[in-house]
Amino acid sequence: MRNFRNYNIWKDSVSFTTEIYKIVRDFPSYERYGLGDQLRRASVSISSNIAEGSARESEREFIHFLSISLGSAFEVETQLQIAYNLEYINYQTLESLLKKVHLIEKQINELINVIRRQLPIAKS
């Protein structure tokens, strides 16, 4: 079984989520349970799906959960842009967070590709 705690993507995404939680604290009170809640949940989903997928028996299942994690990262990216558009975060914060989420997305894609290359080729 894989140990998700050894994956840098998992560590980076937990750290990223912690940062998201701190930023959402500064959202207007009426928005903490709207966009703020969605942003928190999507960011938590990134590391959670890496962890859950690592417990799966097959490589294909792991890839499936990594793909869900990647989708959550894209969701966070969208929500960050909305938060910026609504002036809940400034441009510097947006750029910093986008840089971090892009790195996480890249790491997830790289891991998916490594696992795919190791899969046996299906015979037709």
Residue 25 phi, psi dihedral angles, 5° rounding:
-55, -30
Residue 82: inside a domain? yes
| Residue 29 included in any domain | yes
The DSSP secondary-structure symbol of 122 reads P
123 assigned to some structural domain = no
Residue 124: per-residue pLDDT:
52
Task: Confirm whether 36 is domain-assigned.
Answer: yes
The answer as to whether 53 is a domain residue is yes
What are the backbone angles phi and psi of residue 66, rounded to the nearest 5°?
A: -65, -35
Q: Are 3 and 54 in contact (CB under 8 A)?
A: yes
Q: Which residue has the higher pLDDT, 57 or 65?
A: 65
Whether residue 88 contacts residue 27, with contact meaning beta carbons closer than 8 Å, is answered with: yes
Sequence-ordered alpha helix ranges (H) in 25-58: 35-54
Q: What is the pLDDT of residues 86-121, one digit of tens each?
A: 999 999 999 999 999 999 999 999 999 999 998 887
CATH number at residue 67: 1.20.1440.60
* pLDDT score of 32: 80
Q: Is 10 exposed, middle or buried (0-12, 13-18, 19+ CB in 10 A)?
A: buried
Is 124 within the bounds of a domain? Answer: no
Residue 2: DSSP 8-state: -
Domain count, the chain: 1
pLDDT tens, position by position, 50-60: 999 999 989 99
Average pLDDT of the chain, as a whole number:
94
Q: What percent of the chain is modeled with pLDDT above 70?
A: 97
Q: Which residues does 62 contact at the CB level (< 8 Å), separation at least 6?
A: 2, 53, 54, 56, 115
For the stretch 25-40, pLDDT in tens is: 999 999 888 999 999 9
Write out the residue range of the structural domain in which residue 93 sits: 4-118
pLDDT score, position 123? 57
